[in-house]
Amino acid sequence: MSELSFDAPVWHHGKALRKGYTTGSCATAAAKVAALMVLRQHLIHQVSIVTPSGVTLCLNVESPHIEGQQAIAAIRKDGGDDVDATHGMLIFARVTLNDSGEITLTGGEGIGTVTRKGIGLPLGSAAINRTPRHTIESAVREAIGPARGADVEIFCPGRRSAGAKDV
């Protein structure tokens, strides 16, 4: 799919609906741009990702910040005409480079915790579903290369984490 197909409305019961994008896409874009910023040591104000369905999103970056081996960036959630509780919220990623060669993903403020078996994630881990986990890790790996490691924290200040839905 192209960006043009993303811009085209979805028709539902004779009504044109504007498309949006998922919280997972926001987290992926925020993590990717934070990783790029910490590597390049300069602020970036737009980032592109390809969603699991093949749609390319070019998203504006908000609140970019770099400090040493760490960068933070946010993407504002746009649910289109199918809004949810996260519509309009800033989804942040903090990326800290390390020498481990591994990418670790955690959830911070506003991100729920897995409390029950059955969704394929370890109890006590961040409630970030498998597909967003994969896209976040892949985007960060693409940015930092095969040898570096990174700690990635996804957070959403002001969002209640108790009962919060998965990213």
Domain that holds residue 105: 3-8+16-155
CATH code, domain with 60: 3.30.2110.10
Look at residue 42 in the predicted model and tell me its pLDDT.
97
3-class DSSP assignment, residue 61: coil
- Residue of 80, 25, 74 lying closest to 49 (CA atoms): 25
Look at residue 20 in the predicted model and tell me its pLDDT.
84
Q: Is residue 96 part of a domain?
A: yes
Q: Is residue 166 part of a domain?
A: no
Q: Is residue 167 part of a domain?
A: no
Express each pLDDT in 68-99 by its tens digit: 999 999 999 998 777 678 888 999 999 999 99
Q: Is residue 57 part of a domain?
A: yes
Whether residue 25 contacts residue 139, with contact meaning beta carbons closer than 8 Å, is answered with no
How many domains does one find in the chain? 1
Q: Is residue 160 part of a domain?
A: no
80 by Cβ neighbours in 10 Å (0-12 / 13-18 / 19+) ranks as middle
Q: Is residue 103 part of a domain?
A: yes
Rounded CA separation 163/78 (Å)? 21
Q: Is residue 165 part of a domain?
A: no
Residue 94 tokens read as 């903090």
Express each pLDDT in 99-109 by its tens digit: 999 999 999 99
Q: Is residue 37 part of a domain?
A: yes
Residue 137 tokens read as 């890790």
Q: Could you tell me the pTM of the whole model?
A: 0.87
